[in-house]
Amino acid sequence: MSTFFSQTNMLLMSVWSCFFGQDEEDGTEMGEGDEWMQGKTLIKPLDQLDLTEAELKEEFTRILTANNPHAPQNIVRYSFKERSYKPISSVDQLAVHFVLEGNLLHQDSDEARRQRAKQGLPEGGEDAGDVEEGGGEERADSVESKAGKKEQKITNQFNFSERASQTLNNPLRERGCQTEPPPRANFSATANQWEIYDVYLEVLQKQEKNKEKAKAVPKKDDDKGRELKNVPLFPPQSDDITKVAKVAKIIERMVNQNTFDDIAQDFKYFEDASDEYREQEGTLLPLWKFQYDKAKRLSVTALCWNESYKDLFAVGLGSYDFTKQGRGMLVFYSLKNSTFPEYIYPTTSGILCLDIHKHLPYLVAVGFYDGCVAVYNLKEETLQPIYKSTAKSGKHTDPVWQVKWQKDDMDNNHNFFSVSSDGRVVSWTLVKNELVFTDIIKLSLAGAVSEGPEGVQLPIMGKTSCGTSFDFHKQIDYLFLVGTEEGKIHKCSKAYSSQFLETYNAHNMAVDAVKWNHFHTKVFISCSSDWTVKIWDHTIKTPMFTFDLNASVGDVAWSPYSSTVFAAVTTDGKVHTFDLSINKYEAICQQPVVAKKKTKLTHIEFNPVYPIIIVGDDRGYVTSLKLSPNLRKKPKEKKGQELPKGPEVEIAKMEKLLSLLREPENSNA
Amino acid sequence: MQFEETLKRIQTHKGVIGTIVVNAEGKTTLDNSTTVQYAGLLHQLTMKARSTVRDIDPQNDLTFLRIRSKKHEIMVAPDKEYLLIVIQNPSE
C-alpha cells in the first residue's frame, strides 16, 4: 500500500509543491500533470527550506488510512465493573458526509407487497416476468406484461416467424330494383254514429233487395240489371237531376214561406179578436190564393182535400159551359206552396168531379165531361191515368157529375161509383189493369111514372133522369142519395137496382149538391140553382130547413167539426156560412170572397183538420179562407161527444116551428 | 227538367237575390268570387249542422237550414250530393 501510494504521493507532493512553491525536479511527472505550468518561471518563496540532495531523495512513506481525522481518539467511558474510566479502544471512524433518505422499495419486500396490493397492481405481471422458461428465452418481457393485461403470445425469438396470407375477397356488388309504387289514394272520413248508422242501413237495404230478388225469380235478370246501376237506394236516383229536384222543392217552399210569411202566420195563429164584439157573426179571413197560369180559362169544377196529407188538395178544372168545352186539368196544390201546383195532369176533356181515396192518398178518381171516368195514380211519373174507361167499357154517354170512392170490395179491389146525366149510377172496379163497370142503378123516370101528371118531367130525357150529384151515407154503406136534374133526390140502396127507397121533391131546378151530415146520421143537405139550400131528415119527406140565398147556389158543404155548421157558395161570389145552433134563419157570415163581382163561386170544401175552407171559382182560382172563431163554435158539451149536436131540445123547438105536418120525433141536428 | 223549372220559378220569385247550386266539391253556376265564398262557407256550415242533427239522433236528418241576417235570408237545402242555396230578401 505504501508503494502504491508513493507515486501518488509524489504526484500529490509535486502538486502541492507547485502551490507552495516547492521546486521538484521530476520533470516528467510534472510535465504530465501540469503542462500549463511550464511556461511559468519558477518563483521561490522566501521562506522555502533549502534541502540537500540527500534529503531530497529521502523517501517518506505516507500511509493512507481510513481513519476519520475528526473522530475523537480518546473517548472514555465509565466502566462500572472496574469503577473507573477506561478508554475505548475502537472508536467509530465513520464520517457521514451526506445522507439522503430514498423512496425506493425492493419489489419483494413486505412494504412493497403491501403497497402493490393497495394499488391493485397484479402480481401476475411480475410473475410472467419471473416465469421465464428455460430453453433460450432470455428476453424478459416483464415490462410489456406489466403494462398489458392480455395474454401476449410469447414469441420465440429465434425461430418464430409470422406468416400471413390474404384470401381473395369477393368484390362487393350492390344490386337493387325499383318497382312502381302501388297506386295511392287519400281517404279520409269521419266515423260518426250516424255514418255508421247509414252504412248499416245500406247493408240492410241490400239484404232486403236480395231477398226480393230471390222471390221474383222470372224477373231476375231485369232486377240484376237495375241493381248494378243503382247501388244505394230503391228508387232509381242515378239521375242527378231528380235528386236536386227534391231539394229544389224544399227550397221553393221555403222561399214561398218567406214571401207569404204573414199569410202563414195568419193561417196558424190569427184569430179574429173582433168576433167577440160581433155576437154571433163571423168572418172569413182570406189566406192564400192558388192559381195556375195554364188554367186561367177554366173553371174550378171540383175540389177535394186529401185525407192523409192535410195540406194537399185537388182541383179539377173544366168548364160548365156547354158550348165551351175543351181541355181540362187536374191540379194538386199544397198549402205550403201557393204559387205552383205540386202535380199537374192535363186532360183532353174537362173534369167535372173528382175524389181522392180515403186510405190511399195517391189514387184519384176523376169524372169527365165526355163521360169517361179515369183513375190517376199520383205516384206514377206519367201524366196519363192508370185506368180510363172507354166506349167499350161502359163509359157514360153524358157528363159524369160525381164520383166517389167506396170501400174495397170482397176481393180487395178498389172501386168507386159515378153518376152521370145519362141516368146511370155505375160502380167501377179496378181489377188488375182494367176498369170493370157494373150498373148499380138506373135513374129512370119509371119510378116516377106515377108522378107523371104531377111533376115537371122532362120528356126530352126519355126515360131516364139525369143524376147530378150523389152522396153515400157515412155509416150505412149501401145507402146513398142521388140528386137529379129535375130537382128530385132519390134515396137508393146498392142492393136494389131498379127501385128507389125514397124520393124527395127537393128543388125546382137541378140539384147541384147533396151531402149527408158528418155527424147526424139522418140529416142531409141539398142545394140547387133555384137559389135554395135545404136541410132534410131522410125519414121525413119535407125539408127541415130551407134557406134562400138570392143567387144560384153552386155548392154546399157540412163542416167536419160541427154538425150544425155548413157553408154554401153562390154565383154572386159570396160564401154563406150557417150555424143552425146559433141562428136558424140566417147565415152568420155572408162574405164576398172574390174581387171581381162577375166571378162565380163554384165549389167549396172544408179542410178536415184546419179551420180553413177552399173556394173555387169559375176563373180557375182557388181561394183559401180562414174561419173566424165565431164560425167554429163548438157547442157546450152536454153529452161530451159531438155526435148529435146542438141540443135536441132546440131541434125539437125547430120542429115545432116548422111543423106543418111533422112529428117532432127525430131530432134534427 | 222539372227541377230546372222549379229553379227558374225560385229565381223569379219575389225577393230572391240569387241561387247557387253546389256539388260536393265546387259549384255549378257562375264562378264568381262571392259565389265561391258562399259555396265554401255554407258547405262547411251545413255539414256541421247535419252532423249535429244526426249525432243527436242518427235516424234524423237535416232538411234545411235558414240563416236570417239583417240584410237578407240565406236558405240552404242539403242533399246527398248537392247543396241548393237561395238568398232572399224576405218581404218586410
The string of DSSP letters for A282-334 reads --EEEEEEE--GGGTTSEEEEEEE-SSSTTEEEEEEE---SS----EEEEEEE
Rounded Cα distance, A530 and A552, in Å: 6
Instruction: Find how far residue A655's CA is from the centre of its chain.
Output: 65
Q: Is A664's pLDDT higher than 50?
A: no
Q: What percent of chain A has pLDDT over 90?
A: 3
pLDDT at B29: 55
pLDDT at A203: 94
Let me know: does A342 contact A290? Beta carbons within 8 Å: no
In which band, very low, low, confident or very high, does the pLDDT at A529 lie, cut at 50, 70 and 90? confident
Q: Is A107's pLDDT higher than 60?
A: yes
Cβ–Cβ of B75/A254 closer than 8 Å? yes
Amino acid code (one letter) for A566 = F
Residues in chain B: 92
Q: Is B87's pLDDT higher than 70?
A: yes
- For the ranges A19-28, A246-255, A269-278, A362-371, which has the lowest average pLDDT? A19-28
- For the ranges A12-26, A97-111, A475-489, A560-574, which has the lowest average pLDDT? A12-26
Place of cell 179562407: A625
Chain A residues close to B82, C-beta within 8 Å: 240, 243-244, 247
pLDDT at A578: 85
Chain B residues close to A201, C-beta within 8 Å: none
Helical packing angle, A240-259 and B2-11, nearest 10°: 30
What SS3 class is residue A555? strand
pTM of the complete model: 0.63
Chain B residues close to A196, C-beta within 8 Å: 58
A193: nearest CB among B4, B13, B55? B55
Cβ–Cβ of B7/A248 closer than 8 Å? yes
- For the ranges A17-26, A93-102, A561-570, A606-615, which has the lowest average pLDDT? A17-26
Q: Is A665's pLDDT higher than 70?
A: no
Beta-carbon-side half-sphere exposure of residue B35 (alpha carbons within 13 Å): 17
Q: In what order do the strands lie in the sheet with B16-22?
A: B16-22, B83-88, B73-78, B65-68
In which band, very low, low, confident or very high, does the pLDDT at A7 lie, cut at 50, 70 and 90? low
Let me know: does A537 contact A580? Beta carbons within 8 Å: no
Strand residue runs (E) in A17-120: 76-79, 84-87
pLDDT at A204: 93
In the predicted model, what is the mean pLDDT of residues B38-60?
A: 88
Helical packing angle, B33-56 and A193-215, nearest 10°: 80
Interface contact A200, partner B, CB < 8 A: no
CA distance A368 to chain B (A): 27
Q: Is A439's pLDDT higher than 60?
A: yes
In the predicted model, what is the mean pLDDT of residues A77-95?
A: 85
Cβ–Cβ of B13/A256 closer than 8 Å? yes
pLDDT at A65: 81
pLDDT at A96: 82
pLDDT at B49: 92
Q: Which three cell numbers stand for residue A181?
A: 309504387
pLDDT at A123: 53
Q: Is the ipTM here above 0.85?
A: no
Q: Is A667's pLDDT higher than 70?
A: no
Measured CA distances, A511 to A282, A497, A515, A527, B47 (Å): 28, 21, 11, 6, 60
> A511-520, pLDDT tens digit by residue?
888 888 877 7
CA distance B90 to chain A (A): 6
Chain A residues close to B88, C-beta within 8 Å: 255, 258-259
> A494-505, pLDDT tens digit by residue?
887 777 888 888
Number of Cβ atoms within 10 Å of the Cβ of B89: 14
Q: Is A206's pLDDT higher than 90?
A: yes
Please state, rounded to an integer, the average pLDDT across all residues of chain A.
Answer: 75
pLDDT at A461: 38
Sorted by sequence, the CB contacts under 8 Å of residue A383 that are 6+ apart come out as A344, A345, A346
pLDDT at A209: 92
Let me know: does A383 contact A343? Beta carbons within 8 Å: no
What SS3 class is residue B4? helix
Interface contact A233, partner B, CB < 8 A: no
